[in-house]
Amino acid sequence: MSNAGLRAACILVVLGLMGWHVHARSKVTDETSVADRALLAITGPVQAALSGVADGAVGIFDKYFRIVSVNEENKRLLSSLEVADSRRGELLELRLENERLRQLHGLRTRVPARSVAASVIGRGVSTRFHTLRIDRGANAGLRAGQPVLALRGAVGQVLRVSSDYADVLLLTDGLSTVGAVLQGSRLRGVAAGQGGDFLELDFVRRREQHAVLAGEWVVSSGEDGLFPEGVPLARVSNVEVPQTGLFLDITLQSAVDLDRVEEVLVLVEDGVGVFQFPEVPGLRGEPHFEEHQDDGPTQLEPELERWP
């Protein structure tokens, strides 16, 4: 028998069994006929397999749609988190700025002169001058030579102005000099900029070497007419006693971190009285003394003034 004939015979048998099953089912009986049992035996596994395939397909699609939904929810939550983090950063920056401005306002009440608050908007790139640019100028009463302060002490002086902006020559610039006094010993000198964070205190005589303490504050003397008396300029970082010469080599570190200052006060009028800083911060690093002698340098043990 050919394959086509065999296929036709199988189809006839199945159709016959199905017809027999329909006929048998039309009769209500408690007994299962041979045809019913045969048909169940043949069609049951096929239906079970088809049902399993259908359930599996439904499960796969259900999992797929759930994964898609979860991914979309994750993207939405991540986006919300990024917005919240950005907003939190903005609020933190505003809070810090408000705190600095509040402290700056408190500082203004201690200045014995009229002052103008300004924000730093740029830093000079010139190799000739070390400067900051601020967002106040001649329209606010600024002019060249006026002193500039920050929360922690002196910043410098106004170098040049336009109508709405001004450049500030930093205290550490090589062209900057300020009349100064050592806060503890009351020795006087001139604080001269050396670039970077450092200055030198000039014209302190060699014989005063033991009167200069490591960590001692250097404040403005007020005698040069630039800064009011008592403005923190720097602290003593290092002292060397040269083999020749009349004066000590005293290195100072600026009281203000000039690379990070963001708000300043410009004193636009001369005042009378001593400038009162409520708190003076410590310096970065430990100062020390060195004395040059014929048998080499020796280390002294000065008292270090402690500040909160």
Which residues make beta-bridge pairs with 31? none
| pLDDT value of residue 131 | 92
- Cα 272 to Cα 114: distance, rounded to the nearest angstrom: 11
290 or 62, greater pLDDT: 62
| Domain spans in the chain, listed from the N-terminal domain onward | 39-109, 115-298
Q: Name, in order, each residue with C-beta under 8 angstroms of 168's C-beta and a sequence gap of 6 or more.
A: 131, 132, 133, 134, 148, 155, 156, 157, 158, 159, 264
Percent of residues, the chain, with pLDDT higher than 70: 59
Report DSSP letters for 84-115, one per residue. Answer: HHHHHHHHHHHHHHHHHHHHHHHHHTT-SS-E
* Helix (H) and strand (E) counts in the chain: 2, 14
Quote the mean pLDDT of the chain.
75
- Cα 220 to Cα 189: distance, rounded to the nearest angstrom: 10
Which residues make beta-bridge pairs with 249? 240
- Distances in Å between the alpha carbon of 290 and those of 43, 190, 209, 213, 271? 105, 21, 10, 12, 39
Please state the rounded mean pLDDT for residues 234-252: 92
pLDDT at 27 over 70: no
Nearest to 257, CA basis, from 221, 236, 281, 223: 281
- Cα 83 to Cα 29: distance, rounded to the nearest angstrom: 73
Q: Name, in order, each residue with C-beta under 8 angstroms of 175's C-beta and a sequence gap of 6 or more.
A: 129, 169, 193
pLDDT at 126 over 60: yes
Q: How far from the centroid of its chain's Cα atoms is residue 136's Cα?
A: 25
The model's pLDDT over 79-109, given as tens digits with 9 standing for 90+, comes to 777 777 767 766 666 666 666 666 665 566 6
| pLDDT value of residue 105 | 59
**Position 266 confidence tier, pLDDT thresholds 50, 70, 90:** very high
Helix (H) or strand (E) holding 38: helix 34-108
SS3 252: strand
202 or 96, greater pLDDT: 202
| pLDDT value of residue 140 | 93
Would you report the helix, strand and coil content of the chain in percent, each value rounded to 5?
35, 25, 40
113 or 147, greater pLDDT: 147
Fold of 115-298: Thrombin, subunit H (2.40.10)
| pLDDT value of residue 47 | 62
| pLDDT value of residue 218 | 95
- Cα 115 to Cα 117: distance, rounded to the nearest angstrom: 7
**Position 251 confidence tier, pLDDT thresholds 50, 70, 90:** very high
